[in-house]
Amino acid sequence: MGVSEHFRPLLVRELTETRKARAGLSTDITSTSDLRRESNVDDEHDPEGSTIAFELSQSATLLRDADARIAELEAALLRLEEGRYGSCEVCGTAIAEGRLEARPWTRFCINHAGGR
Ligand SMILES: [Zn+2]
């Protein structure tokens, strides 16, 4: 079994799940924003206002992370289609399969990962 046959379903599943999670997050943000408007709280001085602001910024961060992950996964699927999947973009070495299992969206071998 080739690398692409093995990793395509994995990437597709991950992409589906991340998109689902992202949809849930935007719903959260919308309803929290509505709540904030309705309650008309003063963010600076109202304790409830700062909680809402905090929750909004938390959700916004998660949403940004989800967007980034979706972009990575889509790019990985594209590389798979083009037969470039699983090679390090820096040195061209085949990325260890264990690393791909853990981070199927990765574009770098362990030596060039730099924490990604
Ligand atoms: Zn490398």
Contacts of 80 (CB under 8 A, 6+ apart): 4, 7, 8, 11
Instruction: Write out the residues surrounding ion ligand 1, Cβ under 5 A.
Output: 88, 90-91, 109, 111-112
pLDDT (tens digit per residue) in 74-111: 999 999 999 999 999 999 999 999 999 999 999 999 99
Q: Where are the domains of the chain?
A: 3-85
Q: Round the average pLDDT of the chain to a whole number and report it.
A: 89
d(CA 99, CA 90): 16
Q: What average pLDDT does this structure show over 11-21? A: 96
CA 20 to ligand 1 centroid distance, Å: 32
Rounded to a whole number of angstroms, the distance between the first and last alpha carbons of the chain is: 27
Q: Indicate the pLDDT class of residue 1, thresholds 50, 70 and 90.
A: low
- According to DSSP, the residues that pair with 87 across neighbouring strands are 94
